[in-house]
Amino acid sequence: MTTPRYAWSIPGFAVERPTGTPDSGEIWCYTDRFSYTAGDEIGLRVHTTAPHYDVRVVRDGSTPVEVWSADALPGKAYPTPTDAYEVGCDWPVSTTFTVDPSWPSGLYLIVVGIEHQGRRVEREHFFVVRPPRPRAPYVLVLTTSTMTAYNDWGGANHYRGVGDDPYQDIPSPVLSTQRPVARGMLRLPPGAPRSANPATPGPGYVPRHPAYEWAHAHGYSRHHADAFWAAYERPFVVWAEQHGYELDYLTQHDLHEDHSALDGYACAVFVGHDEYWTWEMRDAVDQFVEGGGNAARFAGNYIWQVRLEDDGTTQVCYKDPATDPLRHIDPRRTTTAWDAPFIDRPGARTFGLTGLGGGYNRYGAATPRSTGGFTVYRPGHWALKDTDLYYGDVFGSAPTCIAAFELDGVDYTFRRGLPYPTHVDGAPDGLEIIAMTPAVVGEVDRWRGEVPLGAPREEAVGHMQALWGDDVPDRFQGEFHGAGMVAAFTRGAGQVFNAGTTEWVSGLIHRDPFTEQITHNVLRRFGAGEERT
pLDDT tens digits along 100-116: 999 999 999 999 999 99
Sign of torsion over alpha carbons 341, 345, 346, 347 = negative
Q: E strands of 219-345, at which residues? A: 247-251, 267-273, 276-277, 294-300, 304-305, 307-309, 314-316
Mark out the alpha helices in 348-498 (DSSP H runs).
348-351, 457-468
How far apart are alpha carbons 7 and 166 in whole angstroms?
A: 10
CB 365 within 8 A of CB 444: yes
Amino acid at 100: D
Taking each helix axis from N to C end, the angle separating 233-242 and 513-528, rounded to the nearest 10 degrees, works out to 80
Under DSSP, the state recorded for 314 is E
Q: What is the largest CA-CA distance in the chain?
A: 71
Under DSSP, the state recorded for 533 is -
Burial zone of 357 (CB within 10 Å; 0-12 exposed, 13-18 middle, 19+ buried): buried
Amino acid at 64: P
Under DSSP, the state recorded for 332 is G
How far apart are alpha carbons 350 and 94 in whole angstroms?
A: 42
How far apart are alpha carbons 242 and 502 in whole angstroms?
A: 21
Q: E strands of 78-184, at which residues? A: 95-98, 106-116, 119-129, 138-142, 174-176
Q: E strands of 61-207, at which residues? A: 65-74, 95-98, 106-116, 119-129, 138-142, 174-176
How far apart are alpha carbons 211 and 209 in whole angstroms?
A: 6
Amino acid at 240: A
**Contacts with 512 (C-beta within 8 Å, 6 or more apart), sequence order:** 395, 396, 400, 402
pLDDT of 459 reads 83
> Hey, which residues does 96 pair with through a beta bridge?
43
pLDDT of 165 reads 73
What is this structure's pTM? Answer: 0.95
How far apart are alpha carbons 149 and 307 in whole angstroms?
A: 12
How far apart are alpha carbons 358 and 339 in whole angstroms?
A: 13
> Hey, which residues does 300 pair with through a beta bridge?
273
Burial zone of 210 (CB within 10 Å; 0-12 exposed, 13-18 middle, 19+ buried): middle
Q: H or E segment at 29?
A: strand 27-31
How far apart are alpha carbons 380 and 490 in whole angstroms?
A: 17
CB 352 within 8 A of CB 489: yes
pLDDT tens, residue order, the chain (533 aa): 345 555 555 555 668 999 988 889 999 999 999 999 999 999 999 999 999 999 999 999 999 999 999 999 999 999 999 999 999 999 999 999 999 999 999 999 999 999 999 999 999 999 999 999 999 999 999 999 999 999 999 999 999 888 877 667 889 999 999 999 999 999 999 999 999 999 999 999 999 899 999 999 999 999 999 999 999 999 999 999 999 999 999 999 999 999 999 999 999 999 999 999 999 999 999 999 999 999 999 999 999 999 999 999 999 999 999 999 999 999 999 999 999 999 989 999 999 999 999 999 999 999 999 999 999 999 999 999 999 999 999 999 999 999 999 999 999 999 999 999 999 999 999 999 999 999 999 888 898 888 888 888 888 888 888 888 888 888 888 777 899 999 999 999 999 999 999 999 999 999 999 999 999 999 999 998 554 43
Amino acid at 291: G
Task: Give the tens place of pLDDT for each residue, 447-488.
Answer: 888 888 888 888 888 888 888 888 888 888 877 789 999 999
- What is the average pLDDT score of the chain? 93
Cis peptide before 399 (omega within 30 of 0): yes
Q: H or E segment at 415?
A: strand 412-415
Phi, psi of 313 (to 5 degrees): -90, -5
Nearest CA to 112 out of 93, 126, 92, 99 is that of 126
Nearest CA to 236 out of 530, 520, 529 is that of 520
Instruction: Name the pairing type of β-strands 52-59 and 106-116.
Output: antiparallel
Domains observed in the chain: 22-137 (2.60.40.1930), 210-528 (no CATH)
Give the DSSP per-residue string, 473-531: -GGGSTT-EEEEEEEEEEETTEEEEE--BTTHHHHHHTT-HHHHHHHHHHHHHHHHTPP
Distances (CA, A) of 491 to 294, 382, 420: 9, 17, 18
pLDDT of 532 reads 41
Amino acid at 329: I
Q: To 10 degrees, the CA torsion angle through 516, 295, 438, 198?
A: 40
CB 262 within 8 A of CB 252: no
Q: C-alpha angle 474/149/294, rounded to 5°? A: 70
